[in-house]
Chains A and B, each alone.
Chain A
Amino acid sequence: MDALELLFSASLWAAAIRIASPLIFATLGELISERAGVLNLGIEGIMTVGAFAGWFTVYQGGDLWLGVLVAALAGAAFGLLHAVLVVPLGLSQHVTGIGITLFAASLTYYIYRLAFPEVTSPPKIEPFQPWPVPILSDIPFFGEALFRQTPLTYLAFIAAGLVGWFLYRTPAGLAVRTAGENPAAVEAQGIDVTRVRMLAVVAGSALMGIGGAFLTLSAFNSFYFEMVNGRGWIAIALVVFGSWRPGKALLGAVLFAAFDAYQLRLQQLAGAFVPYQIFLMLPYALSILALIVMSRRAAYPRALMIPYRKGER
């Protein structure tokens, strides 16, 4: 099979959709938070927490869906910590976010080592199995690419739709968007900006936690050190790429994942001539490239990273 033919294989796109799933959760989570005016650099750590919490719940005998729930709650807890520090207290969102990432990841590793002091290869769990959607999965090409995925992947796409609906079709969504553009206008409506922002960060962090859990419950079936591997930072780039819109962010995540899936296959074709590290670099380089292209016309939420104090303009 040559490099071009690969692009039209259903298995490539099936892999792309799979690789995109955790990124979709994480990107949506970051998007909600930034739309409310809060940058959440805790994302990488929060995904690590989610990955571990979900896996550990299932390892302890919990149901897979319970694992997802626990991962969301664990993510939300660290989101709440970030929210308290940066919203009412107004601390630097950069510094706090990096602090949350370091704190969440190291705490996870500590607890992991407490639970498994000596193991080199961590125990495996029975992960989510592919669940072919009746009828739809029989469609040629699209069926194989889209509808023979695990339930969490379907949930990622549903979440993108829900987030879009919430942000653009509900009063609460309007409040979130306005909190990131013009918080004083939210206050003028009699809505508490602090509460809106904190809820957005917490809800977004819950999604990040699920994104992490996808890695342990759906993609791999165990927890490894450094397994999030920059996916959180890539999600932040995807938010910019998607111009803070859920639909575009979803598209960005799938395109990005398609590229990632493609380079994995190219690696097998050209691995003998090109060092594998070059291929592994490509996703990060692509993220930077996407940032360069999109940043020129990026419409950042105008109040992003600006603390809001009641009554001050």
Chain B
Amino acid sequence: MRLEPREAPSLLVTITYPALAILVVLVFAGFLVSLSGANPFSVFGLVVKGAAGSQFALFETLTRATPLIFTGLAAAVAFRAKLWNIGAEAQLYMGAVATVVFGTGLLPLPAPILIPILLIVAALAGALTLLGPTFLKVRFGVDEVVTTLLLNFIVILFVSLLLEGPLKDPMGMGWPQTKKVIVEAQLPKLIQGKRLHFGFLLALIAAVTVWIINTRTALGYEMKAVGFNPRAARFAGMKVDRVMLKTALLSGGLAGLAGLSEVAGLKGNLTLDLSPGFGYAGIVVAMLALLHPLGVVAAAIFVAGIFVGADAMSRSAQVPSYIAQVMVASALLAMVTAVMFTRYRLRWK
């Protein structure tokens, strides 16, 4: 058995394999659902209805997609340069910490000034969180996968420490949570009376910006070259280490904005359950989008739809809501396999 590169994959091939991947995920999920005694077909109907069946559901899906666009972009930017940032979760929380430090009354400024400042400090906090592991990678050759993963645990404990100490809301009835951000720091709602907020628009702007950086700037070209072949990039005169550090700033900054958007746009304050794994789901989003920044938006909405839909379904059909995470994770594995088969042909000999 061996793999043989396809010369130019036909349109049929490019569509067939990803479609097969989705089918495999659906059949597998259907099997798991049937284990719970529910009817898979009606359950999938409930998922779709819960995710997009009403105006409320649709807005809920877009609200959930907002942090996923940011963390998906963070992963996509980094992975493109082969910087394995698995620490978007930590960067998200540090962005959230920066938001509450500066947004809960420290800077009594009007919204048009305060919100841009918060954007900067949150992005900076996320960026610096990834800068450490990246520095260790380029300077000492320390594998960034393990350091970024371990930092996720450290940062969560750090946030827990802050929530029980310096950042604890004295009026919080003893709950480990911060004060609410002041009114001027809140991101406005996109539609009156809905949960969907300005953060979604920011996420779209971020996606377009990354797309422009990728396709129209020297940095975008360098990031791609470094990811494709670092040795050749170095030979071509690129400062590979510096490109890596810039990539880290961009990637970590984007993940930091996810934290800002959740705090200032949705929750109002920081608690330990701010992110139910948005950082990890961002990796899936980026891979489903094949690391394309505009694809990230679509993939994030798709993944958010599965989560929101599965939550609604699980309430009405008694199927554990973990089914959403299983679907998302198996979609990742199925999709990377499918993409491989669009590029290679399997030969038995």
A90 to B36: give the CA distance in the assembly, Å. 35
Q: Could you tell me if B141 and A298 are in contact, using CB atoms closer than 8 angstroms?
A: yes
- In the bound complex, how far is the Cα of B143 from the Cα of A296, in angstroms? 11
Complexed CA–CA distance, A295 and B142 (Å): 6
Residues of the B chain whose Cβ atoms lie less than 8 Å from the Cβ of A216: none
| A287-B325 in contact (CB<8A) | no
Q: Which of B45-53, B263-271, B326-334 contacts A (4 or more CB under 8 A)?
A: B326-334
Q: Are A102 and B328 in contact (CB under 8 A)?
A: yes
Judge if B172 is at the interface, Cβ distance under 8 Å: no
Interface residues of B in 291-349 (CB under 8 A from A): 318, 320, 322-323, 325-326, 328-330, 332-333, 336-337, 340
| Complex Cα spacing A291 to B141, Å | 9
B-side contacts of A162, CB under 8 Å: none
Is residue B205 contacting chain A, with contact meaning CB distance below 8 A? no
A285 to B150, CA, bound (A): 8
A113-B333 in contact given A94-B145, A292-B140 (Cβ < 8 Å) = no
Interface size, A (range): 35 or more
Does A117 lie at the interface of the complex (its beta carbon under 8 Å from any beta carbon of B)? yes
User: Does the CB pair A89–B337 fall under 8 Å?
Assistant: yes
Contact A90 B340 (CB under 8 A): yes
A154 interface residue (CB < 8 Å to B): no
- Tell me if A270 is interfacial: C-beta within 8 Å of chain B: no
Provide the residues of chain B in CB contact with A41, threshold 8 Å. 145
Q: Is there a chain A Cβ closer than 8 Å to B219's Cβ?
A: no
Interchain CB contact under 8 A, B142 and A292: yes
Interface centre among B36, B79, B146, B151 (most CB of A within 10 A): B146
CB distance from A154 to the nearest CB of B (A): 29
A236 touching B340 by the CB < 8 A rule? no
CB distance from B150 to the nearest CB of A (A): 4
Answer yes or no: B11 CB below 8 A from chain A CBs: no
B284 interface residue, CB < 8 Å from A? yes
Contact of B283 among A98, A114, A230 (CB under 8 A): A98
| Interface residue ranges, A against B (CB under 8 Å) | 41, 81, 85, 88-92, 94-96, 98-100, 102-103, 106-107, 109-110, 113-114, 117, 229-230, 233-234, 236-237, 240, 275, 277-278, 280-281, 284-285, 287-288, 291-292, 295-296, 298, 309-310
Binding site for A on B (CB under 8 A): 1-3, 32, 35-36, 79, 84, 86, 136, 140-143, 145-147, 149-151, 153-154, 157-158, 160-161, 164-165, 280, 283-284, 287, 318, 320, 322-323, 325-326, 328-330, 332-333, 336-337, 340
